Amino acid sequence: MTEILERRSAITGLGQSAIGRNLERTNLDLTLEAVLAAIEDAGLARADIDGLATFPGGALNARDAGRYASAGVRDVQDALRLELGWSHGGAEGPAPLGAVVAACLAIASGLARHVVVWRTVTESSQQGSGSRAEVAHAAGLGNARVDGYRQWSIPFGAGSSANLLALYTQAHFDRYGTTREQLAQIALTDRANAADNPRAVFREPLSLDEYLGARMISTPLCLFDCDLPVDGATAVVVSHVDAAPDARRPAAHVHAVGTAMRGRPSWDQFDDLTTMAARDAAAHLWSRSDLTTADVDLAQLYDGFSFLALAWLEALGFCEPGTGGEFVEGGKRIARDGDVPLNTCGGQLSAGRLHGFGLLHEACLQLRGDSGDRQLDAPQTAVVANGGGPVAGCMLLTRGTP
Amino acid sequence: MSTDAPTRPLPALTPETEFFWTSGVDGRLRFLRCGDCYSYVHPPAPVCPQCASRSVAPEPVTGRGTVATFTVNHQDWGLMDPPYVIAIVELVEQPGLRLTTNLVNVEAGAVAGGMAVQVCFEQVDDVWFPLFEPAT
């Protein structure tokens, strides 16, 4: 077998800023809080850091900035006066996890030894007025017309990812008989887990009746199927595996990544409207490992919308295509004491939309044994998945050994 | 249900896309089609993705298709007045020849995956939006 070069990397440090709604702090401020915490957590000094990577980078065009803006590599390098051998910021890749994958490859090739990777969001502040400004902004309302790929959806009122995900969810419902009661289990499981996460934003219990009675956003997705915009930053230190024993806490070793992008990378042209790019990224992941789903002790699956987590369960092979509804029915299999403990921090639906990095952070915490009241019993292997629709990336992380 | 809200955002008309957005001026829907292998190409692109030929040109289609999937949007995104039906329609001409659109002249509750639909157009300024209604 080809050498799996990402296996030369391990996540040695974790940091998070304050997380909450309308924190009224700048993106860079939140980013630096998380970055410095991660460096400290790894037992490193600023001088040890020779690489930076982030999604989506700081150079996105103004149209995207409202929603995706993040402190860029240059901002962080300058603020901390780092001396870097390598850096990377970019949005076109295997979802936000692409920044971690880039860091692994830089480490494998010797371009860097300790890379700080972050994702920062200020979506809560951006949306504070409730105006969903990013949609109107993306539509160019009030000035320019819509061009690029958005012209194929926004003029038809499909301005939000909620609409695009709803189209996929309905296709799954139609083809496989998946129900809202089944889908609800993603949101209910997240909420149950959030109760034991002091950093989660929504921690009060959520019942099936409340879910079913919630207002519709875009059928069949209701309010509780949509994640929660927050402000916050998450950072991890990715180090060469040789340095992992020096970390203060047990490192999460990168065992394999899945980054495939096949089919057509757009919402309405993807070949199968019940699967998404997750299907191919997941297949790619398993092609780079001898582990199987039976080895996985916990799953941190992207839940920007509830259906995405269900689609990832199918894509990763925890259940057959089309049977995700059945698999999660009743919630037992995906509970913390179930076969596939899912989104143990509360996921993005309840803990807040940290754009996938919150899930990565939680996977590492669990592997380290640092998850507090929600800690699983000595997990050894975690799968983390990011993305929806035409973008997807996933990773297998292991404790102790690559 | 009507979707003629005045706020429907307009696409930019570029040399590559103008034919599509103005096709409805004569009541016909058009897609790019390859002159060598006869595949339809959408969204418009300078080469045929099947055979890489550059002889792609707009060609009228029947405007008939089926609903591949749909959603009834209830949230106000500042784009159009909710509720409205968004659908992905697949044209009869070629598997996978699809576009996102709105279903009109149909009650939201009557929409179902697989239903037969036909194109109709809504003109706003210099754009003829291809929308779909139940096939007759």
pLDDT at B3: 44
pLDDT surpassing 60 at residue A133? no
Tens digits of residue pLDDT in A295-321: 999 999 999 999 999 999 999 999 999
Q: How many CB pairs under 8 A join A and B?
A: 130
pLDDT at A61: 53
Interface with chain B: mutation pick from A160, A175, A268, highest number of B CBs within 10 Å = A268
Tens digits of residue pLDDT in B78-136: 889 999 999 999 999 999 999 999 999 999 999 999 999 999 999 999 999 999 999 99
pLDDT surpassing 90 at residue B8? no
pLDDT at A66: 60
pLDDT at B5: 45
Q: Please indicate whether, in this complex, the C-beta atoms of B100 and A158 are within 8 angstroms of each other.
A: yes
Task: Give me the residue from A154, A167, A217 closest to B9, CB to CB.
Answer: A154
Q: Please indicate whether, in this complex, the C-beta atoms of B7 and A267 are within 8 angstroms of each other.
A: no
Locate the chain B residue with the closest alpha carbon to A175: B113
pLDDT at A210: 98
Alpha carbon of B79: minimum distance to chain A alpha carbons (Å): 6
pLDDT at B11: 95
Q: Is the torsion defined by CA of A284, A285, A288, A292 positive or negative?
A: negative
Mean pLDDT rounded to a whole number for chain B: 94
Distance (Å) of CA A236 to CA A19, A353, A381: 16, 17, 18
- Helices and strands (H and E) in chain A: how many: 13, 11
Q: Please indicate whether, in this complex, the C-beta atoms of A131 and B79 are within 8 angstroms of each other.
A: no
pLDDT surpassing 50 at residue A331? yes
Tens digits of residue pLDDT in A44-83: 999 999 999 999 998 765 555 566 778 999 999 999 999 9
Task: Give me the residue from A135, A157, A219 closest to B102, CB to CB.
Answer: A157
Mean pLDDT rounded to a whole number for chain A: 94
pLDDT surpassing 70 at residue A134? no
Tens digits of residue pLDDT in A343-386: 999 999 999 999 999 999 999 999 999 999 999 999 999 999 99
Neighboring chain A residues of B88 at a CB cutoff of 8 Å: 167, 268, 273
Alpha carbon of A217: minimum distance to chain B alpha carbons (Å): 5
Interface with chain A: mutation pick from B41, B77, B84, B132, highest number of A CBs within 10 Å = B77
B10 touches chain A (CB under 8 A): yes
Tens digits of residue pLDDT in A15-33: 999 999 999 999 999 999 9
Task: Give me the residue from B75, B78, B80 closest to A217, CB to CB.
Answer: B75
pLDDT surpassing 90 at residue B39? yes
Alpha carbon of B5: minimum distance to chain A alpha carbons (Å): 10
Model-level ipTM above the cut of 0.90: yes
- 3-state SS track over chain B: CCCCCCCCCCECCCCCCHHHHHHHHHCCEEEEEECCCCCEECCCCCCCCCCCCCCEEEEEECCEEEEEEEEEECCCCCCCCCCEEEEEEEECCCCCCEEEEEECCCCHHHCCCCCEEEEEEEEECCEEEEEEEECC
Q: Please indicate whether, in this complex, the C-beta atoms of A170 and B9 are within 8 angstroms of each other.
A: no
Interface with chain A: mutation pick from B81, B89, B100, highest number of A CBs within 10 Å = B100
pLDDT at A289: 98
CA proximity to A236, closest of A56, A11, A402, A46: A11
User: Binning pLDDT at 50, 70 and 90, where does residue A139 land?
Assistant: low
pLDDT at B6: 46
Distance CA A340, CA B59 (A): 51
Q: Please indicate whether, in this complex, the C-beta atoms of A159 and B101 are within 8 angstroms of each other.
A: no
- Judge whether A157 and A163 are in contact, CB under 8 Å: yes
B15 touches chain A (CB under 8 A): no
pLDDT at A53: 98
Q: Which amino acid is at A169?
A: T
Neighboring chain A residues of B74 at a CB cutoff of 8 Å: 215-219
Distance CA A330, CA A189 (A): 10
Task: Give me the residue from A151, A170, A266 closest to B71, CB to CB.
Answer: A170
Name the residue with tokens 């698999």. Answer: A327
Distance CA A39, CA A20 (A): 22
Tens digits of residue pLDDT in A218-277: 999 999 999 999 999 999 999 999 999 999 999 999 999 999 999 898 999 999 999 999
Distance (Å) of CA B11 to CA A84, A138, A155: 43, 12, 7
Q: Please indicate whether, in this complex, the C-beta atoms of A154 and B79 are within 8 angstroms of each other.
A: yes
Helix A180-194 to helix A306-315 angle, to the nearest 10 degrees? Answer: 100
Neighboring chain B residues of A144 at a CB cutoff of 8 Å: 12
Distance (Å) of CA A176 to CA A168, A172, A219, A392: 12, 6, 16, 23
> Chain B window 86-125: which residues touch A at a Cβ cutoff of 8 Å?
86-88, 96, 98-102, 112-114
Report for A57-61, A121-125, A201-205: range of highest mean pLDDT: A201-205
Neighboring chain A residues of B112 at a CB cutoff of 8 Å: 174
User: Binning pLDDT at 50, 70 and 90, where does residue B2 land?
Assistant: very low
pLDDT at A143: 57
User: Binning pLDDT at 50, 70 and 90, where does residue B4 land?
Assistant: very low
Neighboring chain A residues of B13 at a CB cutoff of 8 Å: 145
